[in-house]
Amino acid sequence: MFVLRSRYLRIRSRRHRGRHVGCGTHSFLPHARVDGSTELESSSTHIEFSYAAILKAIDESHYNETIQSCPYLQAEIPATRDGDARNEVHVESYRSPATPVLSDDAVRGLRLAAQKYFKEKGGGNNGVGVDRVSVGDLLAMDGDPEPGWKTSLDAAMMQVIYPSVRSGWPHNDAFSFTKDSDAAHGIPVLTVTSASVFAGGGFPSAKAAMTTFERDAGLFVVHIDLGNDNHAETPVMGALYMESLVDECKMKSDLPIVGPLLPGQMVVHQSMQRTAAIMVPSNVHHLKENGLSTVDSLSRTHILRAAEYTRHYALRLILTTKNIIGFETSDGVPKVAIPEAPSEERSYRLRNYARFCRDDRVRYLTLAGLLDFDDYENHLWLGYDYIARVDNPEYQCDLLQRLSDVNRAVFHLEKAAALCPTDSRIYFQLATAIGAKMDCEKRLILEGDDDHYHATRSDEAPGLKRMAEALKRSADLESAPVKVGVNGIEDLAICLNALSETHCKLGEFGKALNALDRWAECGSIRSALALEDTNSIQMHKTPRYEWIQVTDKRDGQNRNVAVRTVGDVPVFEPEDIALLRAAADNRFALAAGMQTSRYTMQYEGNSELHLDDLCAGDLLLKSMMNRVLQEKVYPLVRTAFAEAKDLDGDEPPLGSLCVYDSIFVRYNGDKAKAAGRRRGASQPLHQDGGIYSVNIALNSAHEGGGTFFEALTVVDGTNILRPTAPGHAIIHKTTQRHAGAPTTSGVRDILVIFLTARRTIKSDNVENTWRIERAMRLQSIGKELNRDKLIPSLRLARDNDPTNSEIPYWLGVHLIQGDMNDETDERWTEISQGVESLKLSTLLNPADARAHYHLGMAISTRHKYAMRTKRAHLLPPAKEAGESVINALESAIRLERKCAEAGCENGINLSAAFLALGDFMTRLKSFDKAIMYLNQVEGTIRESGDIDKEWAQSMLEEVSSILDYCKSEASEKMEHSLIR
Ligand SMILES: O=C(O)CCC(=O)C(=O)O
Ligand SMILES: [Fe+2]
């Protein structure tokens, strides 16, 4: 599938803040007129009429807003046009006056007023810790401590703010007459439609941004910094992240921010520019980066720290223009016709309206595009909507129509990119559209319902190349807001995942690795929890530990499975556990059964929470976790795995250990039982993400449960490990296959921390741990690749992490699964390599039942293929082959049964293994053995409860016919030997 997940782009446009006319409401549009036809072409007269009606409504809405929204802030007093012309200072993207526009007193007064308001009435705290209050509400508040700020603000409006906007963009359409009739409405003047104070930061895991990073309403945004209460102590300052500066700053290796700003200092920009108000340390431009030019930057770390440190304030005014003459009425009813809103406003409002239309979105967006050719968001939305339409399962149309839709999507997104070359969303959507287009073309060729496409052989490379280019640009752009903490890493990670995948599809593996490393780096900076401080001298008591090992029967060597903490120093003290579980209880109660995790391994009876979500805003929990990580977890992991180095061949990471993700898992055995889950509350066999998994027990009041380790199935005794007591841990490499053993009654709570490491300059070439992640990610991308690219990428994965048994396992499986009618030498080599790869997998992990199973099947397949293609002479001797098949399949059966006993089976079809054994022994004319194996098929099917299934019946028929053959051959053989 080529269509990328659209989750990456949550296109939003800021809701209009106007109190009377929300663009979120339909109230300003004549309902009866706008629904009806769904296609622009369907009825031109009808459209003409609707179009006019819509514009009229929009003009009215804009007009109302300009006179009603912020009556407490005076509009601009028009100067003579000559006067303006003399002051023209055309600026590109923003104006940032050197001297503050508000005095220190006014800044403090406004901040104090907002603080009082938030304390008494709250500020909405919209889920990301940002409070907001309108200036109108501040003015209406009783007991403003220092109300003098209003006079200062009024003066600034007239003397600095309005003149500065007008002289900054003198050629803006909104300032000029377009038609003669407009002259009747007078000169357009600037006015304020929204004035708000924002506050953000000052708590654990606070976001760097105080305002959402998106296009604003109106025509101009005036941002005035209001400082914070701790400025003197710690110089945390305000700044404005400005998307349009990205390219320019990259060249100068600077940050795309305007600031740091002094309290009272102002930045003005067009609303169309995407910006976000952020908090930064005053030395943000002088931080010495580590030279990796990656997102894991010092500036990001320091900006996020600044945001946590203090609550910062800013004033934001939204400006537009209005025509003064038309409004001069006593009763609010205009005497003359309502003036046209500026075209940018018309387009913005129409676009916002389109968001709420289910059927007509494309049509309204097209109209919005006609109103303002320059507004890239119209094209972005159009492109996005054309793809969304094609993605919608309810959209009934033929492939050619689909192709035409995705072509339009590509057209609009390219247009958007030309108008705004710094918006990462556009390039991501462009890549999505190109992918969708390729998908359509492929289907047209397959279905052959068009002569043109029927004739064309598809060559995907050019399309994939364009996708890669767009994704690369998107990732490069997206890195900028990530680097300053304005955006989280989620979207960038998705983009880099797609980029790696596209490079793999092109066979560009070097570039794929580069993108993969950047993607992995995202994982290493995702968590807001502390990273390992490698400089600190350990003064704390770390838990003691022991290694759980198995002895390999073949070479007598010990293999490490996991570390278990022992003794009287646990990872978590009882009070730490209590704190964590209480936070989880709260969150589960809040979620009321809704999904609380990003992961999919969840069944009835299991629930999960991300520790980062729990810690956000919870100072106590976060600092407890940071302490435990720093004092216990990191030193423990580093020491234990450094000790294991000789045995495992893995260097501990060079860079600081850090949290890749951490989840609180609650297994409810009783719930699972009630839901009829035979296995209780459990997790299937898997590998984790990151490098190390730390699994900490939080209670003991349950039956069953524990971590099942596949590696332990090769030795006698238990294969489920449990920490020695609540608060203690089991730690293993993430590549060690394991499962959550069924909790059969009661509740089992654990905290699993997946650790990875920060990248260092050396990581690229020498670091094992970094390569472990590469290999895992290559393997996960493999699911999206065709066989011809899948096989080389699995080989690459194997080269990067030669110890991960999962990779040669999949490589073997895919090498075997090719065309059995292809009799070339190349195919023979593939099959032989497939067998070798599976053999390697069983050597690396002798406990993997699946690998043994597929190895047995593969040897048998190779045998059949060789016989058929006259290559019998290339096969190993029959006895040896027989032994290896028996060995492999019997191991598979034995191991799978052990897994099943623990409730953690792989789900291998054991009856098929017996059948394969019987079949192979028959081919080797070893009839007694064949009969012995075939006789076990029926019982095994019964055991699995599948006897009534159709496949079971046909398998039994096959068994019975081979059995008949074997029996007659066996008795003939017997006769033969008697005669002799
Ligand atoms: O239940 C357990 O101990 C295993 C948990 C686990 O493997 C996981 O959450 O990834
Ligand atoms: Fe796990």
Domain spans in the chain, listed from the N-terminal domain onward = 74-327, 375-488, 544-758, 768-979
Q: Cβ of 760: how many Cβ atoms within 10 Å?
A: 16
Asked if the bond preceding 256 is cis, omega within 30° of 0, the reply is no
| Residue 487 Cβ contacting ligand 1 at under 6 Å | no
What percent of the chain shows pLDDT beyond 70? Answer: 86
Does ligand 1 lie within 6 Å of residue 695's CB atom?
A: yes
List the one residue out of 457, 427, 728 whose CA is nearest residue 570. 728
- CATH fold of 74-327 reads Jelly Rolls (2.60.120)
Cα 689 to averaged position of ligand 2 atoms, centre (Å):
8
Q: Name the least confident of 47-56, 808-817, 883-892.
A: 47-56
Pairing type for strands 707-709 and 738-757 reads: antiparallel
CATH H-level superfamily of 768-979: Tetratricopeptide repeat domain (1.25.40.10)
Ligand 1 neighbourhood includes 749 CB (under 6 angstroms): no
| Least confidently predicted of 69-78, 192-201, 208-217 | 69-78
263 CB-side CA count, 13 A: 20
8-state DSSP, 175: G
Q: What sections of 558-689 are H helices per DSSP?
A: 574-591, 611-615, 619-628, 634-643, 645-648, 669-674
Over pLDDT 90: what percentage of the chain? 54
Distance separating alpha carbons of residues 198 and 128, to the nearest angstrom: 12
Q: Measured between alpha carbons, how far is 245 from 295 in angstroms, rounded to an integer? A: 17
CB 538 within 8 A of CB 821: no
Q: Does 688 sit in the ligand 1 pocket, CB within 6 Å?
A: yes
Using most ligand atoms within 8 A of CB, pick from 738, 748, 776 the residue to mutate for ligand 1: 738
Given a cut of 80, is residue 647 above it in pLDDT? no
763: Cβ below 6 Å to ligand 1? no
Atom of ligand 1 nearest to the CA of 754: 10
Reply yes or no on whether the pLDDT at 607 is more than 70. yes
Could you tell me the two tokens for 322? 């209005």
Nearest CA to ligand 1 atom 10: 688
Position in ligand 1 atom list of the atom nearest CA 682: 1
Whether ligand 1 lies within 6 angstroms of the CB of 750 is answered as yes
74-327 and 544-758 share one CATH topology?
Answer: yes
* Nearest of 485, 519, 502 to residue 432 by alpha carbon: 502
d(CA 550, CA 243): 55
Cα–ligand 1 centroid distance for 734 (angstroms)? 11
Q: Give the model confidence (pLDDT) of 904-921 as tens digits.
A: 999 999 999 999 999 999
298 by DSSP, 3-state: which?
Answer: helix
pLDDT confidence tier of residue 772, bands split at 50, 70 and 90: confident
Nearest of 95, 70, 344, 22 to residue 215 by alpha carbon: 344
Q: How confident is the model at residue 391 (pLDDT cuts 50, 70, 90)?
A: confident
pLDDT digits (tens, 9 = 90+) for 548-560: 999 877 778 888 9
Alpha carbon distance 848, 55 (integer Å)? 68
Compare 182 and 540 and report the one with higher pLDDT.
Answer: 540
Report d(CA 284, CA 254) in Å as an integer.
10
The ligand placed nearest to the CA atom of residue 720 is: 1
128: its two tokens: 């990301």
Average pLDDT for 202-214: 87
CA distance 925 to 165: 93
Return the top range by mean pLDDT from 82-91, 126-135, 439-448, 773-782.
773-782
Distance from the CA of 979 to the center of ligand 1, in angstroms? 64
Nearest ligand 1 atom, CA 693: 10
C-alpha torsion angle, residues 584, 589, 594, 595 (rounded to 10): 0
* In 184-323, alpha helices (H): 246-251, 298-309
Residue 738, ligand 1, Cβ within 6 A: yes
Distance CA(7)–CA(461), nearest Å, equals: 26
Which residue in 297, 296, 274 sits closest to 422, CA to CA? 274
What is the b/e burial string over 359-395, where b = at least 16 CB atoms within 10 angstroms of the residue's CB? ebbbbbbbbbbebbeebbbbbbbbbbbbbbbbeeeee
Is residue 413 predicted with pLDDT exceeding 60? yes
Atom of ligand 1 nearest to the CA of 705: 1
pLDDT of residue 592 exceeding 80: no
- Measured by CA distance, the residue closest to atom 3 of ligand 1 is 707
CA-nearest residue for atom 9, ligand 1, is 752
Output the six-digit token pair for 147.
């109300």
- How far apart are alpha carbons 604 and 672 in whole angstroms? 6
Confidence band of 173 (pLDDT split at 50, 70, 90): confident
Residue 683: CB within 6 Å of ligand 1? yes
Q: How far is the CA of 727 from the centre of ligand 1 (A)?
A: 15
**CATH class, 544-758 region:** mainly beta
Give the Cα-Cα-Cα angle 798, 800, 805 (nearest 5 degrees): 40
Tokens encoding 382 = 């159009």
Q: Ligand 1 within 6 A of 562 CB?
A: no
Ligand 1 centroid – CA 719 distance (Å): 14
d(CA 110, CA 927): 94
Let me know how many helices (H) and strands (E) the chain has, helices first.
36, 20
Of 693, 721, 754, the one to substitute when testing ligand 1's pocket (max ligand atoms within 8 A of C-beta) is 693
Indicate if ligand 1 lies below 6 Å from the C-beta of 425: no
Instruction: Write down the residue that tokens 């797609």 correspond to.
Output: 498
Residue 978: which residues within 8 A CB-CB, separation 6 or more?
Answer: none
Question: If we measure between CA atoms, which residue out of 954, 873, 889 comes closest to residue 921?
Answer: 889
Residue nearest atom 6 in ligand 1 by C-alpha distance? 740
Name all contacts of 137-145 with Cβ < 8 Å and 24+ positions apart.
138/110, 138/113, 138/114, 138/197, 139/72, 141/113, 141/116, 141/117, 143/116, 144/109, 144/112, 144/113, 144/116, 145/109, 145/112, 145/113, 145/116
Grade residue 39 by pLDDT with cuts at 50, 70 and 90: very low
Instruction: Please give the Cα distance from 130 to 198 (Å, whole number).
Output: 7
Query: Considering every ligand atom, which ligand is closest to the CA of 606?
Result: 1
Q: How many CA atoms lie less than 13 Å away from 126 in the CB half-sphere?
A: 12
Residue 453 is encoded by which pair of tokens? 């496409």
